[in-house]
Chains A and B, each alone.
Chain A
């Protein structure tokens, strides 16, 4: 009975800890976006930083948090690299089924931003 009590208590304590612990390794994603908005000259360096973080997560078999692949894809798209953009949109779609509708639209017809089309 006493053991049961302690077992229950430790479960409570452990689950308490679990809810406070972060589920994902974000690798400074917020800061990467912030710096890109604040100083557009840093976009290329920030793209590289996000790319390296994602590669590290993939190598250590950790789940890439929601939105990271897709935003990396958009950063590549804005730099004119359609292939890398598409590859990252595919990865977002495969990792997060909720993104399927948006990713399909981006992969199929959004690969060239309309804003750029209008300029050229």
Chain B
């Protein structure tokens, strides 16, 4: 039930933002085959957010038809090079990062928000990301922003006291353990595959 509500909220959020189609001419000229995902820069207060976000980007990019460099391996290699956090990595020249890994393009993500706002009877969970894909020659080939929110709702029991109690319990649960991951996954899937921001299919998708 909660999943259904979440899906509906996400659909509504998705529909609400209608923007101009992203310009893909530079992307189509570059035709990258492989994408390196580096740890995200973090503007949120959650120190774990970059690691968690890192685990959600490979699947949608690979399913679009790109070779995606192993994110855990890349993170480890970068740490060996002395880059321990995403903010540091994102300041490096994309050309240097692409050369280090032999990647056609580098995906930089900035986490603007990864938080839960609490009211007495409800909680709003928000993620907000800036995405930037840069070709190995330094050209920016794609740029997008995605914000997603959900607020867990509960069924009307028909009894006002029971409703109040249920709302308080859900809020307490979300306060203890907000679930960001499905929201982050949905943000990535939508930004990469849905208009107006979708990226073109990569070589492994095109041959099918």
Give the residue name and chain of the B residue nearest to A33 (CB): B55
Q: How far is the CA of A30 from the CA of B76 in the complex (A)?
A: 17
List chain A residues, Cβ under 8 A from B66: 66
CB distance from A12 to the nearest CB of B (A): 15
Tell whether, in the assembled complex, residue A114 and residue B80 are in contact, meaning their CB atoms are under 8 Å apart.
yes
* B52-84 interface code vs A (CB 8 A; 1 in, 0 out): 101110110011011111111100110110000
Q: How far is the CA of A24 from the CA of B73 in the complex (A)?
A: 20
Query: What's the dominant secondary structure at chain A's contact region?
Result: helix
Q: How far is the CA of A98 from the CA of B143 in the complex (A)?
A: 24
List chain A residues, Cβ under 8 A from B52: 34, 37-38
Q: How far is the CA of A75 from the CA of B52 in the complex (A)?
A: 17
Tell whether, in the assembled complex, residue B80 and residue A33 are in contact, meaning their CB atoms are under 8 Å apart.
no
| Cross-chain contact of A23 among B58, B76, B101, B205 (Cβ < 8 A) | B205
| Cross-chain contact of A71 among B56, B73, B102 (Cβ < 8 A) | B73
Tell whether, in the assembled complex, residue A71 and residue B62 are in contact, meaning their CB atoms are under 8 Å apart.
no
* B184-208 interface code vs A (CB 8 A; 1 in, 0 out): 0100000000000000010011001
Count residues on chain A whose CB falls below 8 Å from chain B CBs. 36
CB distance from B185 to the nearest CB of A (A): 8
List chain A residues, Cβ under 8 A from B71: 33, 67, 71
* B93-115 interface code vs A (CB 8 A; 1 in, 0 out): 00000000111100000000000
Q: How far is the CA of A117 from the CA of B52 in the complex (A)?
A: 28
| Cross-chain contact of B58 among A29, A31, A102, A110 (Cβ < 8 A) | A29
Count residues on chain B whose CB falls below 8 Å from chain A CBs. 35
CB distance from A93 to the nearest CB of B (A): 11
Q: How far is the CA of A114 from the CA of B82 in the complex (A)?
A: 10
| Cross-chain contact of B62 among A66, A101, A114, A115 (Cβ < 8 A) | A66
CB distance from A37 to the nearest CB of B (A): 4
List chain A residues, Cβ under 8 A from B54: 33, 37
Tell whether, in the assembled complex, residue B69 and residue A67 are in contact, meaning their CB atoms are under 8 Å apart.
yes
* B23-59 interface code vs A (CB 8 A; 1 in, 0 out): 0000000000110000000000000100110111011
| Cross-chain contact of A98 among B34, B48, B80, B181 (Cβ < 8 A) | B34
Give the residue name and chain of the B residue nearest to A101 (CB): B102
Tell whether, in the assembled complex, residue B67 and residue A23 are in contact, meaning their CB atoms are under 8 Å apart.
no
Given A19-B205, A33-B54, A66-B62, list of 5 further CB < 8 A pairs? A22-B63, A37-B55, A78-B76, A98-B103, A106-B77
